[in-house]
Amino acid sequence: MEGMILVQLRNSGQIQFYQAGNLTLKIGDCVIVEHDRGLDYGCVIQPLQAHCCAEGSPKETPKKIIRLARESDLKQVEDNCVKAREAFSACEKKIAEHKLDMKLVKAEYSFDRSKILFYFTSDGRVDFRNLVKDLAKIFKARIELRQIGVRDEARLFGGYGSCGRELCCKRFLKDFEPVTIKMAKEEGLSLNPPKISGLCGRLMCCLSYEYETYKLLSKGLPREGEHLNTEQGKGKVINVNVFKRMVTVQLDEGGFLEVSYKEKDYGK
């Protein structure tokens, strides 16, 4: 898997592994890649080390990066964006004509314009076979309608989370992992939904990939509210700092005490 690169297709499409070959690439580079039965374009979001092939590596032989995008390629990408907006309007009209219960979210052309992808949301299954036939006649290209969820919609449009950084799903996440309230509890976060939800309205994705680290660092630490016997007497834990592995204890006889757990082997 030498020269593996993580690329996000088009402006907000799938995130996939590609073989870079002899190309030297950096984050942000626009590239032309093999895809399905033609060519597509994408943006490098993570150059990978040659040995990084165990966890998260592709199960199938990845396709190749053809070249760095040329000026003419970037011009075609711009033209594709204009055509995609026109395709979006045409598709919306056809959806209304067929009286389909679906909300069109975005349209994208593949780089070589052999395929148009239409992303939509819906509360249920939609029979869009006749819609696809009409669109194929209009655009003389392969048509793909892809039903997406609210997380996918957030990835498509992007934005910034409460942390002030670009959304993880837009910036680097390849797949959506399950996120549970238990993960928020492990971090000691308020369970107020607006505070632990992303722009999509679902639990923040970062809770999932931070979970194992919090579990590791929390090993051997008491919980808030727990009573301890310390060198200065009994007391109640009122604060736990997971990263410093320090707890603050309110002593029964008055005063506060910080207890360090740094020397404990929490990795076993």
CATH number of 75-148: 3.30.300.20
Q: How far apart are CA 103 and CA 95, in angstroms?
A: 9
Q: How is the chain split into domains, by residue range?
A: 4-69, 75-148, 162-218, 227-260
Cross-strand bridge partners of residue 223? none
pLDDT in tens, 213-239: 888 888 888 988 899 898 889 999 998
Beta strands at 38-47 and 4-9: parallel, antiparallel or unpaired? antiparallel
Beta carbons within 8 Å of 145's beta carbon, 6+ residues apart: 117, 118, 120, 128, 131, 132
State which H helix or E strand residue 34 sits in. strand 30-35
Percent helix, strand and coil across the chain, each rounded to 5?
30, 30, 45
**pLDDT tens digits, 136-187:** 999 999 999 999 888 888 888 888 988 888 888 877 777 788 899 989 888 8
Question: What per-residue confidence (pLDDT) applies to 89?
Answer: 96
For residues 251 and 233, the answer to whether their CB atoms sit within 8 Å is yes
Distance, CA of 214 to CA of 175 (rounded, Å): 21
Whole-model pTM: value is 0.68
